[in-house]
Amino acid sequence: MSAANSLVDQLDDLVSLERGEIDRRIFSDEEIFDLEMKYIFGRAWLFLCHETQIPKRGDFFEAPMGRDNVLVVRQKDGSIRAFLNTCSHRGNAVCRAEEGNVKNFMCTYHGWTFGLDGELVGVPGKSIFYKDKLDLSKHPLRKVAQLETYRGFVFATFDETAPSLEDFLGPTGRLSLDLLAERGDMEVIPGIQKFVVNTNWKFTVDNVFDYYHPQITHMSAFAVGAIPSPPDEFVEGGALTDEGNRLEVPFLPTDLHNIVMISEYGHAISGPEQAVLEKDYGSQEPFAWRYTPGTQEKLGRYGSRVAGHPHIFPTTWLTAGGQLSLRIPRSPGVTEIWWYSFRDRNASGEQQAAELSGHIHYFGPAGLLEQEDGENWAQSTLQTRGGVSREVPQLLKMGLQTSKIIKEDGLAVIEAPINEHAQLWTYHSWREWLRNPTWEELRARTTPGDYI
Amino acid sequence: MTLETTPVDPDVEVRDVLRQYEIEQFYYKEAALLDGHRYDEWIKLFADDVHYFMPIRRTMTRRQIGREFTQPGEMAYFDENKQQLQTRVDKLSTGTAWAEDPPSRTRHLITNIRVEDAGGFELLAHSNFHLYRTRLKSEIDEWVGRREDVLRRVDGQLKIAKRFVYLDQTILQSANLSNFF
Ligand code: FES
Ligand SMILES: [Fe+2]
């Protein structure tokens, strides 16, 4: 049996919704990674940047799309285009800065020069060397197939048959972005944190919905008051220290009641209820933006009750604190993490400073939370490579097939105690993407049923 | 080429040499505290109004190199006051900060130290660093960069009143920054 048959033909065994089991090999297999690049990152709408990162004509930001890098560029007429950062002559990158402002992109190999719109406008010696026979109009930079924005968030796809961004996002994906956009007149704060973790990208996505881990993983952050937790209340269960003492695991009320939304193409939102979060913080004040009539209406009945964590398939996480995290697969075992942080232009200086401090201190490589997350992802990834350890399945059995899915307002909602429904939904959708179906088939196969 | 003909003032030179020696010893002691995981003593080296800041560095063209580093008020990796530094120190001593438990092994190498008067009781000190870290079985991380410190004399003791850390990496080649610079 060839290697090609071994994993792709076993997709149904690799991800089992019935058993709540995932085959670990999907986190390290090269062939699976190649398929992900082709059938997921080669087709899906992918987040590139926010419009406020490129406000002026000639502003650009380089963003990843699978294994490709694209330049997102503000045009002379104010519109936005994105094209591959590779010269149409012999492939050199036409821009080697991460961001900046230009009038043209001049390739430093032979000097071919491209306008802000990606058109080839200059070829050194085109009459001497090419005898004026080169048709410049035939060799622009390669554009993305479609580019659209939703409330300032710029997305693109390489698939010209992809549905519109709005359809791709659907009510759940749009709500995910609304939860950030509704916070005010939002702009990206200068500086994108970028760092590398030795993990498979799916571990970082799985973790977005995992409200079982904070009590242990982030124990030290709770202990120093970086996150509120009620004192002297502990979880039952039998966690013991390496000295055999009972480990007092802090009890987190956010773990009690979760609202889950799962949707077409694999998007999901899963996290604590807003009211519970506010009880934790002892105040509604930090969430004042939610309580304007316009925002309540925009978020809708369920959206106004959900605190987090939204995930737009495949790799965009929007936090409850006004940040966006992009997880960029570089190889089966290496993922780059980028943090885009937002602020409300109209907020006071003190408010902006307080939020910025939150952005710096929770996530990112120096974040009091994410340091420990990265550790877990890296170690989990490592164990998917062992000859025998990779045969031990991943378990996602919490609340399996027990919670009814309610379909209302275009959403598929589950209300349940802490659970693993959204993770399972993500893996299920991942599997359906890998079969490379048509968009119609994919939509049908990722339409939620009655239970998960 | 011209030759230096002005006679040097021996008193000025001795004063500078002593100051240089003092600052170097100060930094070597600081490095030993960090590498020895003695964070409670380390934090005592900072003034109560310290600003500890590590900006984000971006790959920019030479023409726009002035925008390479983010500024205070923009995103950063560290933007700490004394209380926030203390929280990080406290977190390490909980025994449940898993990214540093088992603790990483670090070596802080501090070089190229240049000291200038900053007026009053303050000095401006530039230094380069190489922070080498190994973790668990085989992880190795390295950071190279420079620091800009304002050092203040308080009751005869040197305190770090400001530290800006400029890393040489743009995309950080490590999973975390769980150590101090
Ligand atoms: S490769 Fe770009 S000009 Fe030749
Ligand atoms: Fe976490």
Q: Is A256 on the interface with B (CB under 8 A)?
A: no
Cis check for the bond before A311: say yes or no (omega within 30 of 0): no
Of the candidates A191, A220, A372, the beta carbon closest to that of B74 is on A191
Token representation of residue A400:
């399996």
Residue whose tokens read 């939509």? A443
Burial class, A240, CB count within 10 angstroms (exposed 0-12 / middle 13-18 / buried 19+): exposed
Give the model confidence (pLDDT) of A15-62 as tens digits.
Answer: 999 999 999 999 999 999 999 999 999 999 999 999 999 999 999 999
CA distance A422 to A425: 5
What ligand 1 atom has the least distance to the C-alpha of A94?
2
Question: A15 has which bridge partners?
Answer: A22
Average pLDDT of A299-324? 96
Of the candidates B91, B175, B177, the beta carbon closest to that of A224 is on B91
**Residue A38 DSSP one-character state:** I
Give the residue ranges of chain B where pLDDT is below 50.
none
Give the model confidence (pLDDT) of B107-149 as tens digits.
Answer: 999 999 999 998 889 999 999 999 999 999 999 999 999 999 9
Token representation of residue A231:
């004192």
CA distance A353 to A357: 6
**Over the range A344-378, which residues count as b (16 or more CB within 10 Å of their CB) and which as e?**
beebeeeebeebbebbbbbbbbbbbbbbbbbbbbb
Average pLDDT of A354-362? 97
Q: How far is A56 from chain B (nearest CA, A)?
A: 15
Among positive and negative, which fits the CA dihedral B13, B18, B23, B28? positive
Helices (H), B36-127: 39-42, 82-92
Nearest to A330 by CA among A3, A69, A82: A69
CA distance A384 to A22: 11
The alpha carbon of A215 and the centre of ligand 2 are apart by a number of angstroms equal to 9
Please give the angle made by the CA atoms of A198, A370 and A237, to the nearest 5 degrees.
105
Cis check for the bond before A314: say yes or no (omega within 30 of 0): yes
Q: How confident is the model at residue A240 (pLDDT cuts 50, 70, 90)?
A: confident
Task: Tell whether the model's pLDDT for residue A167 goes beyond 60.
Answer: yes
Residue of A nearest to B90 (CA): A224
CA distance A157 to A144: 6
CA distance A302 to A293: 15
Q: Which ligand is nearest to the CA of A219?
A: 2
Output the pLDDT for position A5: 62
Q: What is the pTM of this model?
A: 0.95
- Average pLDDT of every residue of chain A: 94
Q: Do A406 and A128 meet the contact criterion of CB atoms below 8 Å apart?
A: no
Contact A360 B170 (CB under 8 A): no
Average pLDDT of A275-293? 88
CA distance A155 to A330: 19
Output the pLDDT for position B13: 82
Q: Write out the H or E segment, with its range, that includes residue A290.
A: none
Output the pLDDT for position A1: 43
Helices (H), A304-405: 349-362, 370-382
- Which amino acids bring their CB within 6 angstroms of ligand 1? A 87, 89-92, 107, 109-112
Output the pLDDT for position A225: 87
Token representation of residue A126:
């085109």
Using a CB cutoff of 5 Å, list residues around ligand 2, an ion: A 373
Contact A226 B91 (CB under 8 A): yes
Output the pLDDT for position A254: 63
Contact A192 B75 (CB under 8 A): yes
Output the pLDDT for position A48: 98
Q: What φ, ψ does residue A205 adopt, rounded to 5°?
A: -75, -50
Residues from chain B that touch A217, judged by Cβ atoms under 8 A, are 98
- What's the gap between Cα A43 and its chain centre? 15
Output the pLDDT for position A281: 80
Q: Do B68 and A184 meet the contact criterion of CB atoms below 8 Å apart?
A: no
Output the pLDDT for position A231: 62
Give the model confidence (pLDDT) of A316-357 as tens digits.
Answer: 999 999 999 999 999 999 999 999 999 999 999 999 999 999
Range in A170-174, A437-441, B28-32, B154-158 the model is least confident about: B154-158
Percentage with pLDDT > 70 across chain A: 97
Sheet of strand A105-106: strand arrangement? A105-106, A113-114, A120-122
| Better-scored residue on pLDDT, A253 or A387 | A387
What ligand 1 atom has the least distance to the C-alpha of A90?
1
Q: How far is A247 from chain B (nearest CA, A)?
A: 10
Burial class, B5, CB count within 10 angstroms (exposed 0-12 / middle 13-18 / buried 19+): exposed
Of the candidates A100, A189, A223, the beta carbon closest to that of B94 is on A223
> Which residues 79-108 in chain B show a CB within 8 A of chain A?
79, 84, 87-88, 90-92, 94-100
Q: How far is A321 from chain B (nearest CA, A)?
A: 14
Output the pLDDT for position A255: 60
Burial class, B83, CB count within 10 angstroms (exposed 0-12 / middle 13-18 / buried 19+): exposed
- What's the gap between Cα B9 and its chain centre? 32
- Choose, out of B56, B61, B96, B181, the residue to mutate when testing the contact with A (most A CBs < 10 Å): B96
Residue of B nearest to A378 (CA): B175
Helical axes A201-208 vs A370-382, angle rounded to 10°: 130
Terminal-residue alpha carbon distance, chain B: 41
- What's the gap between Cα A168 and its chain centre? 15
What ligand 1 atom has the least distance to the C-alpha of A91?
1
**Residue A24 DSSP one-character state:** G
Token representation of residue A226:
């970086």
Neighbours of A212 (CB within 10 A): 13
Output the pLDDT for position B10: 67
Interface confidence, given as ipTM, is: 0.94
Average pLDDT of A126-134? 95
Nearest to A86 by CA among A102, A103, A58, A65: A65
- What's the gap between Cα B14 and its chain centre? 26
Q: Is B170 on the interface with A (CB under 8 A)?
A: yes
- Residue to mutate (ligand 1; options A83, A85, A90, A130; most atoms within 8 A of CB): A90
Q: Do B45 and B159 meet the contact criterion of CB atoms below 8 Å apart?
A: yes
> Which residues 49-78 in chain B show a CB within 8 A of chain A?
54-56, 58-61, 64, 67, 70-71, 73-78
Token representation of residue A207:
């973790």
Of the candidates A220, A360, A374, the beta carbon closest to that of B97 is on A220
